Chain A
Amino acid sequence: MLNAFFKGPLQLGLAQAAVAAMGALMVALLARRRGIHLETDTMVALLRGAVQIVAVGSILVILLRGPRWTSGLLLAAMILAAGATSRKRARDVPGAFKVSTYAIACGAGSVIAIMTWLGVIDTAITTLIPVGSMLIANAMNTNGLALNRFRADVLAHTGEIEAALALGAAPRQSVAPYSQSSFEASLIPAIDSLRSLGIVWIPGLMAGMLLSGARPFYAAIYQFVVLAMMFAASGLTSLVSTILIRSYVFTPAEQLIIRPGLAIG
């Protein structure tokens, strides 16, 4: 319908964006009727998202025409930004930024490097950046889930953790069950994605390849390849993250730092 009113691609794109944003705002207004105030957050997120994606898109256009080595810089910047975003999921956990950045660099970074070296990811900047960004974004989400779950579990089991410390357990040992459950829980979305691939959803990459005329079989296989790489990157990230974070929730004197409240009694 919009095609009838907007002929140029720019006008059409802006109109499509406005309609999609209105859908998101409708949700915020519906939530408001139930007493949940999301209007400001939604407005800010929509505006910020629109500005960011247009800005990044413009930069990408320039970078994609640049030399291949710039892809390394771009991916490193993405990892840093992912670490900063991921940290917010574990706001009061000390060292969350450092842990997130190391974990994403180790998980997503190593998968990107190995797969590029093996030839699974093409070294062309137009392939490396989009595929790399998908792996980093998924690793970031998984890391955020892992840290969030770890923080919640530690807060919910302070008594058990301190009971273990009081019996002479090493700090890492005292939080080991929660580190393990965080790792498992963080991988549920990645496992479900792989499990439901092609049945519940046809991912964007495959849809894009089909739209741009790729052979359906190759598009399907490459989508599987990307999802398998995402799983590897996310799993490795979460593993590193849940191992590293254990050291950051204790003081050098082996006292638990995150606690729900003060023991004043």
Chain B
Amino acid sequence: MTSSGQISQSDIILATEHLSRVVGAVTLVNDISVELHKKELVAVVGPSGSGKSSFLRLLNRLDEPTSGTVYFEGVDYRQIPPRELRRRVGIVTQRPFLFPGSVAENIAFGPRQRGKDLPVEEIGRLLLQVGLPGFSDRNVANLSGGEAQRVSLARALANSPAVLLLDEPTSALDQEAKLEIELLIEKVMRQSQLTCVLVTHDVEQAARLADRVMILEAGRIVRVGRAEEVLHA
């Protein structure tokens, strides 16, 4: 790292440096330093309460680190306006939390925050990408769990993020919908050249999708490396 806070390796898109978050007497995330490379999918696995979601929330600054920081494209993220950072580092959560209204309104939400009206064709293209062609005018109240999660993914993609954080995106879905979303994640990553961080408690899912796996316990990394090495160690 240089004195101006720049990381030199060009293929590193996101890097955490001694990242910690303590709330009261609870250490949620404990001194995590890890680098994420462009176009890779890193799975974060660990038991409940191990700090997986807390770690993810620090990556797009929905929570504030109590020490350490994150570098996005080599820049300390505290120097990036939060809205700009969150547009570039999108998130899909376990529950989709769609806004009342139509599917199209939800997808257009992110760009509209920057004063940009998403063209109808672009909304159609995103819906096609997530396997929901013709869903534009549907009311979100009438969607199934799997469909809502696909809309949530399309909504995040509408911001053209460079990194996508996936917080247990399939844990509320049945087996069939879960496998469909997994295939979709792989397809979207390939098409949109995305880097993904996937939080999951499902080790098999991590093995199916991840290039690298990071195992957390009590907020600390206990193992990190290539999926086949870490999961079969």
User: Known contacts being A168-B86, A168-B87, is A162 close to B62, with CB within 8 Å?
Assistant: yes
Of the candidates A159, A168, A251, A255, the one having the most CB atoms from chain B within 10 angstroms of its own CB is A168
Whether, in the assembled complex, A160 has its beta carbon less than 8 Å from a beta carbon of chain B, the answer is: yes
Whether, in the assembled complex, B150 has its beta carbon less than 8 Å from a beta carbon of chain A, the answer is: no
Residues of A within 8 A of B26 (CB): 262, 264
CB distance from B19 to the nearest CB of A (A): 15
Candidates B78, B84, B86, B199; contact of A165 at CB < 8 Å: B86
User: Of all chain B residues, which has the CB nearest A161?
Assistant: B97
Measured in the bound complex, the distance between the Cα atoms of B155 and A164 in whole Å is 11
Whether, in the assembled complex, B60 has its beta carbon less than 8 Å from a beta carbon of chain A, the answer is: yes
Whether, in the assembled complex, B39 has its beta carbon less than 8 Å from a beta carbon of chain A, the answer is: no
Whether, in the assembled complex, B144 has its beta carbon less than 8 Å from a beta carbon of chain A, the answer is: no
A251–B64 CB distance below 8 A: yes
By secondary structure, the A interface counts as loop
Residues of B within 8 A of A254 (CB): 82-83
Whether, in the assembled complex, A4 has its beta carbon less than 8 Å from a beta carbon of chain B, the answer is: no
CB distance from A255 to the nearest CB of B (A): 6
> Could you say which interface size class chain B belongs to?
35 or more
Residues of B within 8 A of A253 (CB): 61, 64, 78, 82
B95–A159 CB distance below 8 A: yes
Candidates B23, B83, B97; contact of A168 at CB < 8 Å: B83
Measured in the bound complex, the distance between the Cα atoms of B141 and A66 in whole Å is 63
Candidates B53, B86, B95; contact of A265 at CB < 8 Å: B53
Whether, in the assembled complex, B139 has its beta carbon less than 8 Å from a beta carbon of chain A, the answer is: no
Report 12 cross-chain contacts, Cβ distance below 8 Å, ordered by A residue. Answer: A160-B99, A162-B97, A164-B109, A168-B83, A168-B86, A168-B114, A253-B61, A254-B83, A255-B82, A264-B49, A265-B48, A265-B50
Instruction: Using CB atoms and an 8 Å cutoff, list the residues of chain A in contact with chain B.
Output: 159-160, 162-170, 173, 251, 253-256, 262-265
Q: Given A253-B64, A254-B82, list of 13 further CB < 8 A pairs?
A: A159-B95, A162-B97, A163-B98, A163-B99, A164-B99, A166-B60, A167-B159, A263-B54, A264-B54, A265-B49, A265-B51, A265-B53, A265-B54
In the A-B complex, list the 10 residue pairs whose CB atoms are closest, starting with the nearest. Answer: A265-B53, A163-B97, A167-B110, A159-B97, A168-B87, A254-B82, A168-B83, A263-B53, A166-B91, A168-B113
